[in-house]
Structure 1
Amino acid sequence: MPSTPTPRTRQLIEQLQLQPHPEGGWYREVFRSAGQVMPQDGRPARSALTSIYFLLEAAQHSRWHCVLSDEVWVHLEGAALDLWTWDAADGRLHSEVLGPVSTVTLPQHVVAAGLWQAARPKPGDAAGFTLVACMVGPGFDFSDFSMMSPGGSEARRLAADHPQLAPLI
């Protein structure tokens, strides 16, 4: 069930000029370096670094997706963020909680290139949203991005091994 956007969420979407993201939530690219690098995996030249704002409302999530470059997530404002990574090669699942520095949260986490990842605001947090910045290097290109296919082998395996995370597919 969709939630009603909070006044702060509406303000951030407008002020930061965010647009809907294909994986869920809202985003806007804010930096793309002019410098180019050649990825070691045979992809064509990419910007050295890209950066976006990414906002998830309370009822939204970032669907399971994979990026072929390293991605740094940095918590900026709002609810703590549950961030999961899953290695399809060995089935290892890892979780982090991003938020202000505390005994249970840290503000930053790096997702290694090629890992499946998904995220959602901590359920029940009064903020009603999470705002993060995501930096990708070599820079993000939609041709290096894939979302988990609901009927695919990865989705079936993830759902069987971690049924609580299947709704994020």
Structure 2
Amino acid sequence: MSRIITDATQQLIAALDLVRHQEGGYYRRTFQSDNQTMLSTAGGPRYRMTSIYYLLTQDSPIGHFHLNKSDIVHYYHLGDAIEYTLIFPDGRLKTIVMGNDVIAGQSLQLHVPGGIWKASRLMASSSGFGLISEAVSPGFDFADMEMASRRTLSEQFPEHLGLIESLTNR
């Protein structure tokens, strides 16, 4: 897959007003539950729900392993399929492909519970991007997200070393 971003992808990034995300890809918060009382969490007050657009592209095709404290529901929109790799606390591995080919087993929605290591990668295809949305509850806060350390995650889950090496950036 080429690492050069296409004009169409640049136009999509501009149209959706996306910026680079620290885990990889591009994002923009599109909603936060401003008109409801905040939730009290161990990390402090949080919105009841937030939502973002999230885009993987040829120039940023990987959402590196990270862990969120909140539950997240992902919604596939358009473009190429996106493969999600989940590592559960007991070491169980699950791979899900989000895309529009539901007959072939691709998913339009994906729920990832809080406390699960998650990575994503753009599948090779023709459009050069994959666009999803995420709804997060309690609402997303960067303080509730942990980027994976390759060394630490490999020590915790040595049986998944190859995946960890390919889906972490530090």
Structure 2 length-normalised TM: 0.89
CA displacement at 1:2 relative to structure 2: 6.3
Aligned twin of 1:37: 39
CA displacement at 1:155 relative to structure 2: 3.0
Task: Give the aligned residue type for 1:37.
Answer: L
Change (3 A) 1:149 1:2: farther
C-alpha RMSD of matched pairs (Å): 1.6
CA displacement at 1:141 relative to structure 2: 0.4
User: Number of matched residues?
Assistant: 163
User: Aligned ranges for residues 17-96 of structure 1 at < 5 Å?
Assistant: 17-34=17-34, 35=36, 36-39=38-41, 42-58=42-58, 60-87=61-88, 89-96=89-96
Aligned twin of 1:5: 5
Aligned twin of 1:162: 160
Structure 2 unaligned regions, length at least 5: none
Q: Percent identity?
A: 35
Distance 2:139 2:58 in 1: 28
CA displacement at 1:137 relative to structure 2: 0.4
Distance 2:96 2:110 in 1: 8
Is 1:131 aligned to 2:131, yes or no?
yes
Contact 1:58/1:130 (8 A) holds in 2: no
Matched position secondary structure for 2:5: coil
Is 1:141 aligned to 2:141, yes or no?
yes
Contact 1:148/1:155 (8 A) holds in 2: no
Q: Deviations over 1:7-55 (max 9, x none)?
A: 221111101111110001111111111122234xx33221011011111
CA displacement at 1:126 relative to structure 2: 1.0
Structure 1 unaligned regions, length at least 5: none
Structure 1 length-normalised TM: 0.90
